[in-house]
Amino acid sequence: MVAQFLRLRLAAASNAHRRRPTQLLGLALSALAIGALTVAAVWLLSTIAATGATADALTEPRTHATTAVLLGAAVTVLCFVVPLVLGADDRFDPRQFAPFGLGAGRLAWGLLAASVVSVPAVALTVLAVAQAIVWGAHPAALGFAIVSVPLIVATGLLMIRVATSLSAILLSGRQVRDVVGLVAFASLTLLAPVAVLLAFSDWSTTLKAPDQFADVLARTPLAAAWAAPADAALGNTGAAFGSLALAAAYLVVLAVAWRALVGVLLLTPVRERTERHRVHLGWFEVTPKTAGGVIAARSISYWGRDPRYRTSIVVVPVIPLLVVGALLLAGAPFNYLMLLVVPVMCLFLGWGTLHNDLAYDHSALWLHVAAHTRGINDRLGRILPPFLIGIPLIAIGAPITAWLFGDLDAVWTIVGVGTAALLAALGVSSVFSVLAPYPAAHPGNSAFEQPQTADTGAFGAQAGSFLLTLIVCIPTLLMGWDAIFDGGVSHALTAVVGGATGVVVLALGLWLGGVVFDRRRPELLAFTMRY
């Protein structure tokens, strides 16, 4: 039976080239992404091993242990989260084999064996072997590292199968899948400070938080198999055996869960999609039945569906990584750089996505003009999406970065600066998007397909709105600097001043932007029709 499933898997792989071009492109990009992540992980392991070879004998195993455990936990989580969120079409869905009368047990083990012939299985095998090679310099850990190889691969494959089956059962509806995707994206955005920590910290000498975090993860099923050789290298042979036992027990639990899910899926028929005659208005049913509410609903829909907005949003959590990385290379202290993460994200969330928002409407702006929509309603509706993202970002990101900085009292300063940056950027952008719009990518096009025009004023609008946002935030920035370094101003006062500054600038920006919109309706309509 296993041999038949393996032959079927190989036949499906050999016939992959017969798919539609879009499907082939998706498969190629997925394989490249998995390959790139695998190469990066192997490079990280090899780099830590190379630097550890010249380090002190006591710190080398500690560095290896932290790296291996954190990387292993990340791999395990990705094996579950990615299939669950993406919910890709599974050609080896157990429901496809229901007509053949196979038992749930035989089908479960056959499908699991067939999953060995896949790109994720190759990536997991490479990572597992790489971590064993890293521990080769530690005789006490080498045996545990070799034993952990099959545990790591089997755990990852079972996590993928369980997640794919749960996605087929729980996330079959398009609306549910969209919500899960938005939650996943919000989680990645809010965890950007943690990504900065893992990417740029010098774990062996300057930062102890990853070591402590790794110690916690090592006692969980997420990284138990990766932690066993680490425990042995550190002289904790009993803990190493315990980690292997925990990893094996977790593998048994996953196998039982996979067997149960196959049984459920065999009794759950694949439902064909049927057309519903009911009309759902989506966000238009949630927002107030006013002009501003309708524009807000349309803006939220754009942010979720328009690739131009999606590209802008994806850039937001990347910018702090680049800023912090460049400053770290210049020799800036890591803990102080953590103070920049949330304010920088708030600044680019409010400015980068809204200062030319009106140009994204293209010819659809005539609806606002024809309906005599007031400018203040137009301005209010457009700020809602970044506002809904920015407030949770500040609420969650500020405590995390304050903890990484080393002073929880600094959370109020981060809140104040982040709030001022977000609201001020929204207020200034509300004026500049109607005062100095410039050509943008047309609806349906990529965000990188800019119209070929000369002398559009794009640089002036971008630089002017960005600099003005920074200028109005200067008082809050100075108070935050004093609260952090001198202590002459309290953190709470910085939060109050930052919040007040943001509210005032936002209110003035909305009012002035509305006035400019009302007075420049013909010019704005002519601009959108021209470009």
Cα 109 to Cα 115: distance, rounded to the nearest angstrom: 10
pLDDT for res 424: 94
Q: Which residue has the higher pLDDT, 214 or 476?
A: 476
Q: What is the pLDDT of residues 318-356, one digit of tens each?
A: 777 777 766 776 677 888 888 888 999 999 888 887 888
Q: What percent of the chain has pLDDT over 70?
A: 71
Mean pLDDT of 401-406: 86
pLDDT for res 512: 94
- The band of 293, judged by pLDDT with boundaries at 50, 70 and 90, is confident
Q: Which residue has the higher pLDDT, 228 or 84?
A: 228
pLDDT for res 268: 67
Q: How far is CA 128 from the centre of its chain?
A: 25
**Range with the lowest mean pLDDT among 215-229, 392-406, 450-464?**
450-464
Considering only CA atoms, which of 356, 354, 514 is closest in space to residue 439?
356
**Model-wide pTM > 0.75:** no
- The band of 474, judged by pLDDT with boundaries at 50, 70 and 90, is very high
- The band of 408, judged by pLDDT with boundaries at 50, 70 and 90, is confident
- The band of 511, judged by pLDDT with boundaries at 50, 70 and 90, is very high
Mean pLDDT of 313-322: 75
- The band of 224, judged by pLDDT with boundaries at 50, 70 and 90, is confident
- The band of 58, judged by pLDDT with boundaries at 50, 70 and 90, is very low
Length, in residues, of the chain: 531
Structure tokens given for 306: 């328009």
Cα 75 to Cα 66: distance, rounded to the nearest angstrom: 14
Cα 139 to Cα 351: distance, rounded to the nearest angstrom: 55
**Range with the lowest mean pLDDT among 48-57, 328-337, 383-392?**
48-57
Q: Does residue 280 sit in helix, strand or coil?
A: coil
Compute how many other C-beta atoms are within 10 angstroms of the C-beta atom of residue 362: 17
Q: Which residue has the higher pLDDT, 286 or 408?
A: 408
Q: What mean pLDDT is reported for the chain?
A: 77
Q: What is the pLDDT of residues 109-144, one digit of tens each?
A: 777 777 777 778 888 888 888 888 888 777 888 888
Cα 349 to Cα 381: distance, rounded to the nearest angstrom: 16
Those residues whose C-beta lies under 8 Å from the C-beta of residue 428, and which sit 6 or more positions away, are 351, 355, 465, 468, 469, 472, 505, 509
Q: Can you give the residue ranges of every domain in the chain?
A: 2-266, 288-530
pLDDT for res 415: 93
Q: Which amino acid is at 468?
A: L
**Range with the lowest mean pLDDT among 20-34, 65-79, 314-328, 361-375?**
20-34
- The band of 431, judged by pLDDT with boundaries at 50, 70 and 90, is very high
* pLDDT above 60 for 527: yes
* pLDDT above 50 for 175: no
Q: Which residue has the higher pLDDT, 425 or 191?
A: 425
